[in-house]
Amino acid sequence: MGMAFSKLFDRIWGKKEMRILMVGLDAAGKTTILYKLKLGEIVTTIPTIGFNVETVEYKNIQFTVWDVGGQDKIRPLWRHYFQNTQGIIFVVDSNDRDRVVEAREELQRMLNEDELRDALLLVFANKQDLPNAMSPAEITQQLGLQSLTRRAWVNESPIPEVFAVAKRPSANPSPFSSQYIQSTCATTGDGLYEGLEWLANALKKAGHE
């Protein structure tokens, strides 16, 4: 009863809930991102065995963020978190050029899952503070996002490297209604809320209200 009234008041006052799945290879910075968003500070992290889940409130939206471990032996378990996911945050270590192909393969597997057909995709190009970090534009190319989603990513940013947004074509559409890549630095928080801003707006436009 209490929960029912809570949901009713949330709807009246415009508060929405969104389920977000945050994945990526191990050491990409997922847990650091989660607690930077939740607590506003850097926390000491260890490799996630299993998952962390926290709620993050932003602009009347309560994001329930599931941060799932990225070690290779754990990745087959990602599928257990797919159900009811409205948005995916895929975190990439921009400095890890040696494993970007591995990241591409894992992302491709996810994009082929029926349970994620209606989910939105936000890519965090993390660790942009490092001198050898790949730009978001380079990561877009390295991940093969155009071929993975069968449509072009259209750059709509005044700063070309900052982000690219995909638009649905009239023929042969991708399962994903919209996508976005955002440069981030988990330790400083740069780009994290810009990503949430896009995700919130895109979820609303996609009808997840």
Q: Which residues are catalytic?
A: 71
The verdict on whether residue 125 carries a ligand-binding annotation is no
195 is in an annotated binding site: no
The 3-state DSSP class for residue 144 equals coil
Residue tagged 């996810």 (tokens): 110
Q: For residue 29, with 0-12 CB atoms within 10 Å meaning exposed, 13-18 middle and 19 or more buried, which class applies? A: buried
Q: Is 98 annotated as a binding residue?
A: no
205 annotated to bind ligand: no
Kindly give the residue spans of alpha helices, DSSP state H, lying in the chain. 2-12, 30-39, 100-111, 136-142, 145-149, 192-205
Q: Is 126 flagged in the annotation as binding? A: yes
Beta-carbon-side half-sphere exposure of residue 109 (alpha carbons within 13 Å): 13
167 is in an annotated binding site: no
133 appears as a binding residue in the annotation: no
Residues of each annotated binding site for GTP: 24-31, 70, 126-129
Residues at the binding site are 24-31, 48, 70, 126-129
Q: Which residues are annotated binding-site positions for Mg(2+)? A: 31, 48
